Structure 1
């Protein structure tokens, strides 16, 4: 229930900083190297998406005990899976490099973070160079993913049209069947087809129309955040300005993955107290009467000089390393809503860790999820024995009501059948424990 089914895919050419990005954003330790195919198999890790926890709004911070992730003074960190796909090269959609394998790995991702070496010090194949234009990387990577989908459709298009006519399907049904291998469904296909507004029947689509359909599909299925990495290198400034001017700033984030790795490492080793997503950190000399657990170590001169360089080149110049902002923007693309299922909407208990624990569970659900669908997501039996649901103020919710930020603290009431089953299960467990204890006691008596 804690870790959702959402996956952030990290993509890009070799040596752009993808593995460093994964290491800076997650608990993974991905292999880092300055040569193509450093990452042969995809690396996985868990990153954290920060939201405001309702425990702060209702003054319950001391009782908030998340089952997954953590809550720090009302800041809730929700775990999300991150996937680092091995470096792509131009021609991947035609099988260049290990392209087909890498592109197939993307099927499990819901949103992409494209890590770009904005310094221009690596060419399209990830080899060291000077003066390379990173705009090329943004363009060709999108083209490779587009061609991957387009070519898969095009090579069987005649058969698709023939089947479409024979079954008398509509375009959404046919496309859903053909695109299901990319982890899509009819709802998603319906959304991008509505936005596209095509009037031409599917059997009359030409190549140009098919390219438009694929482009609309990718925008919906694989929304992409561009992480302009290595912002602290000399040539980065002019390239950042050029890229932002061409693509806008809505889905572009300036990042230094290595700086974030360095700051988190110092924090873990207790040399600094780093406030992730900001430019701020505390040193030992900043502390006043810290507890033994919170007391920081004193930095040596070499590490202090490195830290000051990170401040000058990244934190003071850009405000933060950009890594946390990338995660925030990526999750925002998914249009998901955090929902807190509770046992009681008056005291927010969730039946875990004792009666005082609140808001133990939090799920990220897609926008447009209904209350009854949410019950099904939690557990099939909640849906089977569903009676009604309520939110703050004991307000009843309709089964078809959409979950929003205004009703995302939800208590689902079920019939007595499910409660009786749970009580019987507990009773059986207690009887088994009593039986085992009795056997152990008899065994001890025999030994005596």
Structure 2
């Protein structure tokens, strides 16, 4: 094995880069500007290896996964907050993927389209006509309603404001700065953040129990079969539903928010996409027809490139590994940043512009420089469901409304890093019915 070490990210004595990694967006940009494929940072006594090169990312996520394991911090910490800690091993992960796989079959995704449109109609029916609305609140309610009807087989009536507080409290608890603080201030200490988090976890538990009591959808059925077979515990099933609510449906709501905001901020792109969607509906008003709208997928890809709800990933080494000619010790943390990759001009020309056409060109961004759902065998299992939902929702909205936003740049929305990449301030959209 090579004895070389990668170049270091400049820090300060004693603290190293601890003050930087808690601001992951700025830290990702700092690492990008150093233009090295692999970097070493220090957080206290711990080393963090930052991978910025797509070929090395391919090794970590695809070709050498046994050496680079994905931690399940959110699942483990949320299950502990629920009162029954669950450890997730390779067998548990494989079981969860087996449960999800039939839910993501192409014909099943097509079956969801009418329910998605119905949920959108219900969500829009309550909106004030021609007035700005909080886009994230709208799409949170919509995402939960869609998931409830398609995956859970039930209806969930939640108060928008209370549900927003629940998701916000859990999201903020898992912000990098709060994770660092939790090492010194345990969860039982009654800080404002901890109090809000405990209330949110209790409310989330009530929501999960409601789903388990009343639901009979395909995902619940698969989880129940795994529980009966003994491959998942009852605690794992309960935690998995909670994870979906805050770790899957929230990124979906954010992706819808960012995509619709980008379209509202770029009227020519919105008009072009509407024409393509109308043409597809004229051919056949099916989910399959939307799959063939190349510009729709290009718009979605571009919004997720600029604003990836999942903005960073971690792995840790299970054994000493050589990466890019450098020695990585066992137990080291590996840091991969979608935010940094997606905005790196080495892989994306003019990265700060909103340009869906880049995805229709022959030299579109390399696959391992675009990772909105992660990558490899541990990528997000709900990625296909999220993409299908975004297609149907965006197409349906454009068929009935013009999306308007404040006069601003589609690639210049202030965001902040919590559990997911969230808007730094409310995103207001106006939906004007088409004549």
| Shorter-chain TM-score tier | under 0.3
With normalisation by structure 1, the TM-score equals 0.22
Q: Which has the larger radius of gyration?
A: 1
With normalisation by structure 2, the TM-score equals 0.22
Tell me which protein shows more strand as a share of its residues. 1
